[in-house]
Amino acid sequence: MATTIRDVAERAGVSVATASRVLTGSRPVSPELAERVIQATRELGYRHNAVARALRRGHTNAMGMVVPEIGNPFFPTIVEAVERRLQETGRDLFLCDAQQDPDLERRRVLALIGRQVDGLVIVPVSATASGASLAEAKGHTPLVQVDRYVEGVDTDWVGVDDTAGITMAVEHVVSCGARRLACVSATPDSSAGRRRLLGFQEAVMRLGLPTDGPPLLGSFTAEWGRVAAGRIVAEKHLPDAVVCGNDEIAVGVLGEFRRRGVRVPLDVLVTGFDDIRFAALADPPLTTVRQPHERIAEECIRLLDARIADPDAPIQRIALEPTLVVRESTQRLW
């Protein structure tokens, strides 16, 4: 059906070896023959079969990436950064969505490995349920976890220092005069959820702040933010500030507060985490903790390449420093 290198060779009147050599440049070929070959490929519209090539070569010049849910706006940011990095070295990226489902995540990981990707970037769905897939994958291909991670699986990891980030947010609102802080975040189901929660609790304790009831834990979605905000409003009195586990939650919180007539930042301060695209466009623009996604991508590829080069090198876990981005949602003159 499709034209093969054999067809090209035939048309050019050379052997397949010669055709392959001019097409890949793996060895010099005389100008006349080379010309004939590229002429033939043009005439036949030949495209090399990457599957056959991968089979023979044993590598594919492509990376795989699996994210929990591409609809979560933080992941596209990181995907794009990784993509850009990879492009610098001419490699392709195949992206898969796990739909927040560890079973599906496993399928995707195996599918990519089966496709002989040269390495795998994965943001695991769950700090626990993703463990098995990762351990399995690790035996088959170089692998680096990004952002979230699962414990007990010894792989490289790069992400942000969640604890430091939340601490920044807490200290910032406190410096704005807040004393009673509420926390709306996600269950400690993912490492991000766990560490951000921990960071909040530590900071509050260290600063000796009164606690405003237990943290409200749901999922990293705007929907959960709305619900949680509803509960906060239902309490007898508002906290001074609401520290959210990510920007989506914060946006949900802002929306519900607005609907209920709670004014931000006048009545209460709100912070997010991640600095997604819409954080600056929220109403009011959201103070948040920015993840250095370009640096994360950079380290991610660096780790992966190092792992490819030496599968037995000691594993590395790199927590990059986030930065605080102050916007109107915490601008109050006390």
Partner DNA sequence: ACAAAGTGGGTAAACGTTTACCCGAACGTT
Partner DNA sequence: AACGTTCGGGTAAACGTTTACCCACTTTGT
Footprint of a second copy (CB under 8 A):
2, 45, 47-55, 60, 62, 69-71, 73, 76-77, 79-80, 83-84, 87, 92-97, 99, 104, 107-108, 110-111, 113-116, 136, 139-140, 222, 251-252, 254-255, 258, 277-278, 280-283, 285
Q: Could you tell me the smallest distance in angstroms from the CB atom of residue 125 to DNA?
A: 27
Residues 7-36 binding DNA (CB under 7 A) are 14-18, 20-21, 23-24, 26-30, 32-33
From 10, 38, 44, 48, residue interacting with DNA (rule: CB under 7 A):
48
Q: Could you tell me the smallest distance in angstroms from the CB atom of residue 10 to DNA?
A: 10
Q: Which is nearer to a second copy, 195 or 327 (CB)?
A: 327
Q: Could you tell me the smallest distance in angstroms from the CB atom of residue 272 to a second copy?
A: 13
Q: Could you tell me the smallest distance in angstroms from the CB atom of residue 13 to DNA?
A: 7
Q: Which is nearer to DNA, 56 or 237 (CB)?
A: 56
- Per CB under 7 A, the segment of 42-50, 144-152, 233-241, 251-259 that binds DNA is 42-50
Enumerate residues 6+ apart whose C-beta is below 8 A from 290. Answer: 274, 275, 322, 323, 324, 325
Q: Could you tell me the smallest distance in angstroms from the CB atom of residue 25 to DNA?
A: 9
Q: Which does 97 bind (CB under 5 to 8 A by kind): a second copy, DNA, none?
A: a second copy
Q: Which does 331 bind (CB under 5 to 8 A by kind): DNA, a second copy, none?
A: none
* Residues found near DNA in the complex (CB under 7 A): 1-2, 4-6, 14-18, 20-21, 23-24, 26-30, 32-33, 46, 48-49, 52-53, 55-58
